[in-house]
Amino acid sequence: MDRLAKRQLIGTAGLVAVAAIVTTLLTPERVVAQLLHLADHPVYLAGVIVGLYLVRPFFAWPTMPLSAFVGFVLGVKYGFPVALMGALVTCLIPYRFALRAGEQGGMFGWLGDSGRRIIEVTGETRGVLAARLSPVPADPVSYGAGFARVSPRSFAVGTFIGEIPWVAVEVTAGASLRSLTLTGLTIDALPHVLLFSAALAVLVLAGPAYRHVSAPNSS
């Protein structure tokens, strides 16, 4: 198993283990009470949110729990823009690492090669956007873009727009959990958002892919 896959597996397992320990030691009511208490102290809350987004890439945690946490403590109105900016910032960290690291072997090398092939066909912004709209974990996309030498502007624009539907669902789910009623529109909308994002990814790639395949020298 490659290093990136190991890191993601260990990071996710660690996050699950922490959640299991917390829920074992504390009742759900106590956990909710502590989070609501944190939400009443904006300075501490801001520090926690910034800290979580900054350390997330080093533990290879998925971004979804952070967006849900932000939705829980801030609600949809304020949580959505905060979580969207947090997703961009936390994705920039592995991207900048890969950009500075240069050529790599193993899985990192494969990510770089894959990223370059996609970008040759789609262009930088379009390729990052399609990758973000697809259900691919955040970090492989960020590393791949960095190793493929995608420009910071293209990476930021593609990531910002591509994360919008995912962050919207995750923040809404977190806001619903605040009242312990994860029902209705949030759950019902999830399959539609997945389908919508996949369709957008196809549309984003369709034009460049067709031009690449139909070009006289493409073979």
In a domain, 119, yes or no: yes
Q: How many domains does the chain have?
A: 1
Is the model's pLDDT at 11 over the cut of 90?
no
Tokens 């092939």, residue? 117
| Dihedral sign, Cα of residue 53, residue 55, residue 58, residue 60 | negative
In a domain, 8, yes or no: no
In a domain, 197, yes or no: no
In a domain, 138, yes or no: yes
pLDDT, position 1? 39
Least confident of 5-9, 91-95, 145-149, 214-218: 214-218
pLDDT, position 218? 45
In a domain, 209, yes or no: no
Is the model's pLDDT at 186 over the cut of 70?
no
- Exposure string of 7-31, with b = 16+ CB inside 10 Å and e = fewer, is ebeebbeebeeeeeeeeeeeeeeee
Confidence of residue 98 (pLDDT cuts 50, 70, 90): confident
176: containing domain: 28-182
- Exposure string of 179-206, with b = 16+ CB inside 10 Å and e = fewer, is eeeeeeebeebeeebeeebeebbeebbe
Question: Is the distance from CB of 145 to CB of 155 less than 8 angstroms?
Answer: yes
In a domain, 165, yes or no: yes
Dist CA 191 CA 181 (whole Å): 18
CA atoms within 13 A on the CB side of 132: 27
In a domain, 200, yes or no: no
Is the model's pLDDT at 215 over the cut of 80?
no
In a domain, 97, yes or no: yes
Mean pLDDT of 175-202: 55
Confidence of residue 102 (pLDDT cuts 50, 70, 90): low
pLDDT, position 21? 55
pLDDT, position 61? 84
